[in-house]
Amino acid sequence: MTDIYRAISDPIRRRILQMVAHQECTQSEIVKQFPISQPAIKKHLSILLEEQLLLEKRQGKYCCYRLNTPVFRHNYLQLQQELGLILENKLADLKHYLEEDT
């Protein structure tokens, strides 16, 4: 199961996801967009692959990455639902607190 929190907890990984959501990118194209080393980018790509949010395609000596849209969509909806429940609980607690005071 994908750990969406692990995947999106880092701003670099979020930006990589944004890049590959619009078009397939090679590793070198991704590296060019960041002020960090190629091995550091590779580590971020590895995490996104482990969490199944990226698909990897080898073309000769190049690797191309794209968003695994069905997995991302499923996890995004699950994340939205979890955050909605947290917000509902917090709002219910606030309502209860405010009603007690009056």
Q: Where are the domains positioned within the chain?
A: 4-101
Placement of tokens 């395609």 in the chain: 57
The second-level CATH assignment, the architecture, of 4-101 is Orthogonal Bundle (1.10)
User: Under 8 Å CB-to-CB from 62, ≥6 apart: which residues?
Assistant: 26, 27, 28
Q: What is the pLDDT of residue 92?
A: 81
Torsion of CA 6, 64, 76, 43, to 10 degrees: 10
Question: Using the 8-state DSSP alphabet, how is residue 80 labeled?
Answer: H
- What's the pLDDT at 1? 58
Q: Are the CB atoms for 45 and 65 separated by under 8 Å?
A: yes
SS3 9: coil
What predicted TM-score, i.e. pTM, was given to this entire model? 0.80
Q: What is the pLDDT of residue 87?
A: 85
User: Residue 40 has which token pair?
Assistant: 């550091």
pLDDT at 12 over 80: yes
